[in-house]
Structure 1
Amino acid sequence: MSETIMTNYEQWLNMAEMPENKRKILEATIRLYSKQGISNTSTSQIAKEAGFSKALIFKFFTNKHDLTMNLLTPILDHILPAFTSDFFEDLEKKAEVKEIIHYIVFNRYQFLMENKDIVLIFLSEILINEELQQDFFSYIDSNNKNNWTREHSLFSKIDEKITLTSLFSAIASQILMLFVQCLIFNKKMTEQQQNQRLEEIVDLIYNGVKNRKE
């Protein structure tokens, strides 16, 4: 894995080659965006949070939009590539259908929680930011096409219509719902309760796949 390709955004930010002041501005932006939202955060607030003048922000970024894009595009450039390489390599080692589903559910939920602040910011911004939408779907089409459409031989034995793409779609909706409940709606859940819900999601998806064969 390249030094600049990480599975954790905070890890990437700490190791990325950039001026220390720029790094501190991005860190302050994450803290404020994740707490009060992008639209409710001004560059003046970011400057105060970072401990710098507003002028220094505009030394590195042309405007607030540029700052936001600099914050979020590394997810596409440095975080998701690790997901597509290491993740699929580990996935292909799984020998049973339920084992594959279990790995996807728990691994992807862990990814969301480890990057929860930047994921929340990304999810809120992609709904309204056309530039980010275009970058995201362009990334999926150009860089992940082979990985996302890759089929595991076990699924063809069950139903030829079941692909990793369809499986990921089913799982993503379930784990994102749990993620939103815990992080956005502030539903207090212990780690044990979250793991129990994840096991329930595994059973739900697995039973749906198994029943297609019957």
Structure 2
Amino acid sequence: MQVNNVETLFKKTLRESDLSAKQQSVLQVSLNLFAEQGFDRTSTSEIAKAAGVSEGTVFKQFKTKDGILKAILDPIVAHVVPMVATEFLDELKTNNLVDLKSFLQYAIQDRMTFAVENRQQIKVFAQEILRNPKIITDLSGKVEAVVNGQVGEVLQQFKDRGELVDWPNMRIIRYLVGILGSYVFPQVFLAPTADFDADKASQEAVEVLMRGLTPVK
């Protein structure tokens, strides 16, 4: 499974940036508070107190709460999302996924677990996407590059062996994401259940995917 969660990768990105220690603290604290309480329910005074700085310092550095959110999301889109993708691709390489079913089982369960463990940060990100559709445009290019790159190579191997239907890669990925989302969405955005079983859920998802993605013979 994944080595790092979103919070850990975000911290790494901040450490490698040109931001001051106070700025890094404000952004890290803000991400956690936005995730726990929601953007609208978090005040700048709470952010300042948790970060150990004055409220005036927060405003001086980021002007508004929206400015803080933008300062969080810009590095997430530019750096954290690519790091998440790279970690996932590295995991796929290091596991002996000998056939399409084992590939789907591993990939779906891994991403289910990742989504559930990072549900709060994902909610913050998703809420901002609704307010700022440009984020989708920025992400689409990154996703397409990954799909046409290493993921595309893996899919092509299964196509060449006759295990995977010969559809365009993006069509296959949309199908995978759709099935994955049907399990993840309730856990992230609606009413998460403490007894959610990612192993069982991924097996159910793979059963559907195998029926839809296996070539007709």
TM-score bucket (shorter structure): 0.7 to 0.9
Q: After TM superposition, list the pairs within 5 Å mapping 1:58-137 onto structure 2.
A: 58-91=59-92, 94-137=97-140
- Residue of structure 2 equivalent to 1:197: 201
Give the alignment's Cα RMSD to 1 decimal.
2.8
- Structure 1 distance, partners of 2:118, 2:173, is 19
Point out where structure 2 has 5 or more consecutive residues left out of the alignment: none
- Structure 2 distance, partners of 1:145, 1:73, is 24
Matching residue's letter, 2:209: I
- Structure 2 distance, partners of 1:118, 1:142, is 24
Give the C-alpha shift of residue 119 in structure 1.
1.2
- Structure 2 distance, partners of 1:213, 1:126, is 38
- Structure 2 distance, partners of 1:170, 1:87, is 19
CA contact (8 A) 1:84 1:144 kept: no
CA contact (8 A) 1:148 1:165 kept: no
- Residue of structure 1 equivalent to 2:142: 139
Q: After TM superposition, list the pairs within 5 Å mapping 1:38-77 onto structure 2.
A: 38-77=39-78
CA contact (8 A) 1:7 1:80 kept: no
SS at match of 1:127: helix
- Residue of structure 1 equivalent to 2:10: 13
CA contact (8 A) 1:112 1:179 kept: yes
- Structure 1 distance, partners of 2:145, 2:103, is 25
Q: Tell me the percent identity.
A: 20
- Residue of structure 2 equivalent to 1:177: 182
Q: TM-score, normalised by structure 2?
A: 0.77
CA contact (8 A) 1:28 1:50 kept: yes
- Structure 2 distance, partners of 1:146, 1:108, is 19
Point out where structure 1 has 5 or more consecutive residues left out of the alignment: 1-5
Q: TM-score, normalised by structure 1?
A: 0.78
SS at match of 2:131: coil
